[in-house]
């Protein structure tokens, strides 16, 4: 039974011998994804910048949070190792991929989960440094991981079952006021995912994304502040589920997409949004 929902859980797919890299791993959906993969037997390199961005007015994940996630993940059947690296830095992503290959002999899945948010004003009033922070992390970071990780996925011998996964958002298809840069970045992630799927044709490596709705994370708390709302719970009414999503619900979809069950999918942007995009 799920402790959160009280509903029976499907048997977990076992993934011993497979290695994954997850960005944005210190908290939120990234942290939940590290735990979900490790619970299924994956070896996981949990990557986070573990530092605030001076352009953004809220705190990002910390090294202490990353260490706690790694300890939780390592307590299960899988393995986990933490690495401090900025997803926007192509050299850092290349080094992270090399570390995963060194530790576990290869890479089978790369998950671009790291994200930030900023706005609260129309685009033309948004400080340029905040716009750059959103675009460089939410889209540029996905591009940087793809450039570094996909060659590693292709280095696995055939028949391959590599997975490149990214986190888009319901904001990729909905025009959200005062979040134009965020919407643009997430729409870019969706387009990138579809393009990668075509470029990976015939390789055995797939590219897919998930589009979360309002999920109970620090990004949603910052969104509430930007809109002048009392808290993240204010967004629950937007979703037909009439509640916020838990990070673990989005992570469950990512973990499934990383496994063999998603073998018939590529180029998909899967809504895990409580019906927000309806």
10 Å Cβ neighbour count for 7? Answer: 7
Q: Are 117 and 134 in contact (CB under 8 A)?
A: yes
State how far Cα 278 lies from the chain centre: 22
pLDDT, position 190: 98
CA nearest to 235, candidates 184, 181, 169: 169
Half-sphere exposure of 40 (CA within 13 A, CB side): 26
CA quadruple 110, 30, 215, 187: dihedral sign: negative
Q: Which CATH number fits domain 19-212+245-270: 1.10.10.10, 4.10.520.10, 3.40.50.300, 3.40.50.720?
A: 3.40.50.720
How buried is residue 154: exposed, middle or buried, by Cβ count under 10 Å (0-12/13-18/19+)?
A: middle
Residue 229 neighbours by CB distance under 10 Å? 13
Given this model, what pLDDT does residue 188 score? Answer: 98
- Pick the catalytic residue: 182, 196, 266, 272? 182
- Is 182 among the residues known to form the active site? yes
Identify whether 254 is preceded by a cis peptide bond (ω within 30 of 0): no
The angle subtended at Cα 82 by Cα 183 and Cα 166, nearest 5°, is: 25
Domain ranges of the chain: 19-212+245-270
Question: Does residue 260 contact residue 13 with C-beta atoms inside 8 Å?
Answer: yes
Q: Quickly tell me which residue has 């090399």 as its tokens.
A: 98
Give the pLDDT score at 113.
98
Strand 206-212 versus strand 109-112 pairing type: unpaired
Query: Buried b vs exposed e over 184-213: b needs ≥16 C-beta within 10 Å?
Result: bbbbbbbebbbebbeebeeeebbbbbbbbb
Residuewise pLDDT in 10s, the chain (278 residues): 444 444 444 444 566 789 999 999 999 999 999 999 999 999 999 999 999 999 999 999 999 999 999 999 999 999 999 999 999 999 999 999 999 999 999 999 999 999 999 999 999 999 999 999 999 999 999 999 999 999 999 999 999 999 999 999 999 999 999 999 999 999 999 999 999 999 999 999 999 999 999 999 999 999 999 999 999 999 999 999 999 999 999 999 999 999 999 999 999 999 999 999 88
- Kind and range of the H or E run holding 21: strand 19-23
The rounded distance, in Å, linking the Cα atoms of 96 and 73 is 18
């Amino acid at each position: 039974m799920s402790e959160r929902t009280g509903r029976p859980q499907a048997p977990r797919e076992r993934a011993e011998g497979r290695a994954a890299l997850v960005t944005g791993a210190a908290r939120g959906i990234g942290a939940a994804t590290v735990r979900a993969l490790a619970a299924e037997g994956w070896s996981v390199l949990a990557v986070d910048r573990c530092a605030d961005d001076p352009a953004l007015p809220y705190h990002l994940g910390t090294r202490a949070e990353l260490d706690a996630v790694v300890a939780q993940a390592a307590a299960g059947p899988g393995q986990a190792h933490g690495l401090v690296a900025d997803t926007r830095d192509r050299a850092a992503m290349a080094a992270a991929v090399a570390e995963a290959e060194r530790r576990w002999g290869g890479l089978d899945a790369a998950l671009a989960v790291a994200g930030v948010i900023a706005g609260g004003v129309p685009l033309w009033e948004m400080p340029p440094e905040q716009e750059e922070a959103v675009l460089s992390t939410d889209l540029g970071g996905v591009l940087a991981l793809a450039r570094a990780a996909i060659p590693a996925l292709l280095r696995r011998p055939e028949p391959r079952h590599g997975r490149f996964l990214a986190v888009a958002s319901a904001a990729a298809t909905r025009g959200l006021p005062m979040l134009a840069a965020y919407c643009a970045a997430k729409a870019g992630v969706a387009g990138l995912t579809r393009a990668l799927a075509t470029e990976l044709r015939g390789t055995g490596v797939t590219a897919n994304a998930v589009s979360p709705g309002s999920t109970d994370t620090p990004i949603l708390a910052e969104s509430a502040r930007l809109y002048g709302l009392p808290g993240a719970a204010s967004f629950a009414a937007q979703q037909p589920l009439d509640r916020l999503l838990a990070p673990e619900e989005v992570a469950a979809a990512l973990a499934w997409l990383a496994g063999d069950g998603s073998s018939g999918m590529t180029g998909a942007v899967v809504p895990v949004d409580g019906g927000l995009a309806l």
